[in-house]
Amino acid sequence: MGLYVGYHGTNVLAAEKIISSQKFILSTGEDEWLGIGVYFFWDADDAGWWCADCLKLKTYTVLQADLEASTVVDFVHRRGDLESFKKFCNQVKDKSSKMGNGKKRQNYMGLAIKMMVALQKPDIIIGGFDQNRKIWFNNAELKSKFPLVVSQVQMCVLNRDCIKNISVYKEVV
Amino acid sequence: MENKKYWESLFCKLDGLTEDEFTDLANELDAAGDIPFAIEDCEVTIIDIDCVGTYSAVYCYNNKSQYKLDKDDFTYNEAA
């Protein structure tokens, strides 16, 4: 059993609806890196960054929730998961280089995630990204001098039953 | 241990697919895009989303009609 605390930033109205219904809608954007699910940040400040810097919201709410999962694919903390996923990506790549319309497939990562979820759905996928950490390493010289990587950790909850005890963590008004 | 079981099961299912079955599934996933709740017999495209992340409104169309995702029961309904 994996137990986590996640933070999700959104506008005030949506946050009120989520709190009253204790329910999230799945995120469905085509560029969702970890698949279709409800996205949480590991760090509450990143949820605030998402609202203020990405969504350009002047007022927003950061929600906190407990995440209780049976099956977790963790690309940040478990090297074995990453190695298995790489192997899986290679097999997927070898099996399908063309899409149904005959065009060459460009995005194997997206297909691999979709295929992974379709064949054996985990409750949560955890991934690390460098989105708002790039300022630390904005050129090659600094990168070599300061090689420390502190990922922005995102948790994609595919099984909404895992989300418990949704509450308001912070309001910016 | 839990994860070992997960990956073993995943690879087992992948290995169990013939090339045609794999291609069919891949094409199905491509066609479905990233829309979680499909409208039956329709190929849909998201045309407008507001409130990214929790999507207070998701609209789709299938060349004939426009649909809106119902926030309460998570189904698509024809938009007025």
What digits encode the pLDDT tens for the residues A111-166?
788 889 889 989 999 988 777 776 666 677 777 777 777 788 999 888 889 999 99
Give A88's contacts in chain B (Cβ within 8 Å). 7, 10-11, 14
The token pair that represents A173 in the structure block? 């008004």
Contacts of A22-25 spanning 24+ positions with Cβ under 8 A: A22/A166, A23/A160, A24/A157, A24/A160, A24/A163, A24/A166, A24/B54, A25/B54, A25/B55, A25/B58, A25/B69, A25/B71, A25/B74
Q: Provide the pLDDT for residue B9.
A: 92
Task: Give the Å distances, CA to CA, from A159 to A91, A162, A170, B17.
Answer: 26, 6, 25, 25
Cβ atoms of A64 and A166 closer than 8 Å: yes
Give A73's contacts in chain B (Cβ within 8 Å). 3, 6
Residues 64-123 of A with CB under 8 A from B: 70-74, 78, 80-81, 84, 87-88, 91-92, 95-96, 99-100, 111, 114-116, 118-120, 122
Q: What's the CA gap between A167 and A152, in Å, rounded? A: 22
Q: What's the CA gap between A4 and A162, in Å, rounded? A: 10
DSSP bridge partners of A127? A154
Give A36's contacts in chain B (Cβ within 8 Å). 34, 36
The answer to whether A21 contacts chain B (CB < 8 Å) is: yes
CA dihedral A13, A19, A25, A30 (to 10 degrees): 60
3-state secondary structure of A8: strand
Cβ atoms of A126 and A77 closer than 8 Å: yes
pLDDT tens digits, residue range B41-54? 333 444 444 333 44
Q: What's the CA gap between B67 and B46, in Å, rounded? A: 9
Which letter does DSSP use for residue A34 in this model?
T
Q: Taking 90 as the threshold, does the pLDDT of residue A4 lie above it?
A: yes
Average pLDDT value for residue range A8-26 = 82
ipTM above 0.85, yes or no: no
Q: Taking 90 as the threshold, does the pLDDT of residue A67 lie above it?
A: yes
Cβ-proximal residues to B38 (8 Å cutoff; 6+ apart), any chain:
B32, B44
The token pair that represents A59 in the structure block? 């007022």
Nearest one of A45, A35, A44, A10 to A24, comparing CA atoms: A10
Whether A28 sits inside 8 A of B46 (CB atoms) is yes
B59 CA: distance to closest CA in chain A (Å): 11
B39 CA: distance to closest CA in chain A (Å): 14
